[in-house]
A and B are shown apart, each in its own frame.
Chain A
């Protein structure tokens, strides 16, 4: 038996197929993965993401510490409640984890790490925070759910009470607010508008139940994966890990090179890699032929194996196979993928594939 979130029994009662995810017993789907995917693109769905690692960090020098710890620049967070997506790197520039950090007060930041990286991440942060006198608190008393889709915000407002709804409505994208017991962030992992809510463990079933009564449908991890792939969002451990840097993982935009004097862990290695003309590039692929792209398939350029798919799958919104792949920098507009010995044609694109329910591709088939 794996670890279980406070919503585990609710998932079972909803008929979820439960699978192991990084040591957690989590819902894979509640019936049809495709229906759940479309539900989020067209209306509203709710995910249990309570397995993720929420850590509160406090201290007089907390901002200075996080500026050293993360590749993106926490000094970009100047308004309370503002969120930032960043990688945390090792000295070689490899990605230890990707995360969202919220600036809540001058001596208080909240960080949401992945579920599968919990132990190593906490060890890494603990190993580096000594000189900065930082207090870390794991928030295992909080559960986290994500409500996503074009109608997600409206349907949430009716469930969380008038005061919280008012605070939520005032949020601009990538901002969060604490209101009463509820932490509301206008963030997500689907490419749709919506919220990620943190609530005390004792109250999460009430909020979840209210959302379902209000027409929001439960969505499993399987649809979460196709939604994030369409949205061009990386998955840690699949698209990047400690052996790959953000530069090779389509995450160059999350590295804050300026100001030049900001020293962060991994910076020196990234500077070297940045000048390397042979480093690989991270692209999106759309399969022209029929078939499905899968993780670890080989990308073939000019008849030779040249790269690898990191995440591949069928895009329910586009009705074709899509993927992320690591390929040589000089890749052209097309390539081929080896699918069980057959070479099928793919178009090279810049992710995302889908945003706010619509295709981002200027290709017609």
Chain B
């Protein structure tokens, strides 16, 4: 069973989002997603400063097995990307909700985040995906 922390928000495309204390939102892929993809070998991240829209492709995670697009859960400006992933893409496997975060967005809407899935709803999505 994959880990789904209760304090995060989720998308149907297997991203997670977490509101940080400075008002930005950290984004990554879920434990379910990293497990399906397998050993990560390359992560392509958006440029800092790029404007992203919700549900827009803005990163690619590549495992030994396949490349998979990552969609931004919310709209806003990319304010940071995880600098560790260039040399250590395996952090996405080892700690997908912590050191394996992908990028941070300063949200353009104050309510968009609230509209994402909660942990319980995402669990239903992930379980359906298993079958």
Contact = CB atoms under 8 A, between A and B. Distances in A.
B48 interface: no
B62 A291 contact: yes
A291 B64 contact: no
Nearest to B93: A32
A292 B42 contact: yes
A32 B39 contact: yes
B38 A32 contact: yes
A150 interface: no
B44 A291 contact: yes
B44 to A, nearest CB: 7
Contacts of B126: none
A34 B39 contact: yes
Contacts, number: 33
B64 A226 contact: yes
Interface string B61-86: 01011110000000000000000001
A32 B34 CA distance: 12
A155 interface: no
A184 to B, nearest CB: 31
A121 B128 CA distance: 40
Nearest to B43: A290
A200 interface: no
Contacts of A314: 41-42, 62, 64
Given A33-B38, A290-B86, A291-B42, A316 B64 contact: yes
B116 interface: no
B60 interface: yes
A336 to B, nearest CB: 17
Interface in B4-44: 38-39, 41-42, 44
A290 B42 CA distance: 7
Nearest to B42: A292
Interface of A: 29, 32-34, 222, 226, 290-292, 294, 313-314, 316, 321, 340
23 contacts: A32-B38, A32-B39, A33-B38, A33-B39, A33-B65, A222-B38, A222-B64, A222-B65, A290-B42, A290-B86, A291-B42, A291-B44, A291-B62, A292-B41, A292-B42, A292-B62, A294-B66, A294-B67, A313-B64, A314-B62, A316-B64, A321-B42, A340-B60
